[in-house]
Amino acid sequence: MLASEASKARKLEILFGPWWRHYAVPYEFPATLYSAQSSCPYCAGPLGPLPILEQDDAADGQSAHLDHMDPLSRGGEDSIRNAIYVCRKCNLAKGRRLFADWLERLAPDRRYLVRLLYTGKHGHEPEAFVPGRKQARLSLPRLELSLHEAVLRKMFAKPIVSGPPGRR
């Protein structure tokens, strides 16, 4: 984890306690998410370069794509625990499919590893995900992340949530 991303993680832990990964927006942790795999987890093909900016006009369409394993359009969280980088082809093919359905479309030799990836990040099997209403993409940085850790500790003596989203 880059030093800047590690600092953000510590600050988010002050704010959200052990549930910080549920509230950590993937766009704040691109290097950490990108470095988690050396190839596309879905097809084992090349991942492509990490785009510096999402609206980078110089990108040739072959850059890595951020995939929400449980799609935002189906109620998935916009969080690092629900996001991974995959190749463009796989991200476009998966679209808004539920992860359990997507697993069935993968090559048999990839299913087991991809299932492990999902359960490792989510703490449950993909079949346990219950679709819900569409979730917003959280693209603006949290204002609190600009504050020093000592200031955050004084302002937030205890986490501001008592559980993951939906159980506040």
Domain contains 78: yes
More confident residue, 79 or 63: 79
Is the pLDDT at 149 greater than 70? The verdict is yes
Domain contains 167: no
Burial (0-12, 13-18, 19+ Cβ within 10 Å), 161: middle
Q: For the chain, what is the mean pLDDT?
A: 90
Rounded mean pLDDT, 41-63: 71
Residues 22, 6: Cα–Cα separation, whole Å: 16
Domain contains 28: yes
pLDDT in tens, 104-119: 999 999 999 999 999 9
Q: What backbone torsions phi and psi does residue 56 show, to the nearest 5 degrees?
A: -65, 110
pLDDT, position 63: 85
Query: 14 is in which domain, residue-wise?
Result: 3-155
Domain contains 164: no
1 pLDDT tier (thresholds 50, 70, 90): low
Burial (0-12, 13-18, 19+ Cβ within 10 Å), 76: buried
In what helix (H) or strand (E) does residue 86 lie, and over which residues does it extend? strand 83-86
58 pLDDT tier (thresholds 50, 70, 90): very low
Domain contains 49: yes
Is the pLDDT at 17 greater than 70? The verdict is yes
Domain contains 168: no
Domain total of the chain: 1
Domain contains 135: yes
Q: Are strands 83-86 and 65-68 parallel, antiparallel or unpaired?
A: antiparallel
Residues 168, 153: Cα–Cα separation, whole Å: 20
Domain contains 165: no
